[in-house]
Amino acid sequence: MNPSKGLNDFMKNQVLVKRYGLGFLGAASSQEEYASLFQELEDFYDLVNREKSLRKALASPFIPASKKQKIAQEILKRIQAQPKLSRFLLLLIENERFELLSEIITALPELWNKEHGVVTFEVSSVIPLSEEQKQSLQTKLEGIEKGPVALKYRQDPSLIGGLSLRKGNIVYDVSLKGDLEKLKAKIIEG
């Protein structure tokens, strides 16, 4: 296998995911409409994922796009999807991009935040934070950023204690593990 071909395919897919994601966001005229469309999109994806035969049919390169669109239209009718969502999904299918749907769904919240000036932080901790701790952290970060922030939480047992915050490519490590690694580096340096 050619590694550069795999990288090129990955980069192409990322460009397409962003392009379709931004198109989806452009259809939403408000936060409420975005939330409603996004929920319907997730519902559609969950339904298709539960039914393996549907997923295979919609992703198959051997089934004509027109037949896939008829299948999708029937599903969209059953879930009473908004016309904007129907147009979006049918366009994905028409352009043979249905396999990108999972990645688009994953990327949409981040794209929405970026388009609306909301800074996203990934917060890692050993144990789940309480609602009070989450609110306090959000308030402090909004003060530092001088604007709205979105926080995504995950558990990382390797941290030992404290927090690790990631904003894009920048990591703010205020964990015991990070402190120990800094101490180790100082000891090695002499």
Reference 86, options 100, 102, 70, 99; nearest CA is: 70
Residues of the chain with CATH 3.40.30: 118-189
Number of other residues whose CB lies within 10 A of the CB of residue 100: 19
Positions of the chain with pLDDT under 50: none
- The per-residue pLDDT for 161 is 76
Angstrom distances, CA of residue 19 to CA of 12, 86, 92, 103, 160: 11, 17, 11, 12, 40
- The per-residue pLDDT for 170 is 86
- The per-residue pLDDT for 164 is 85
96-147 per-position pLDDT tens digit: 999 999 999 999 998 998 898 899 999 998 889 899 999 999 999 999 999 9
CATH code for the domain defined by 3-113: 1.10.520
Residues of the chain with CATH 1.10.520: 3-113
CATH for 118-189, options being 3.40.30, 1.10.760, 3.30.70, 2.60.40: 3.40.30
SS3 119: strand
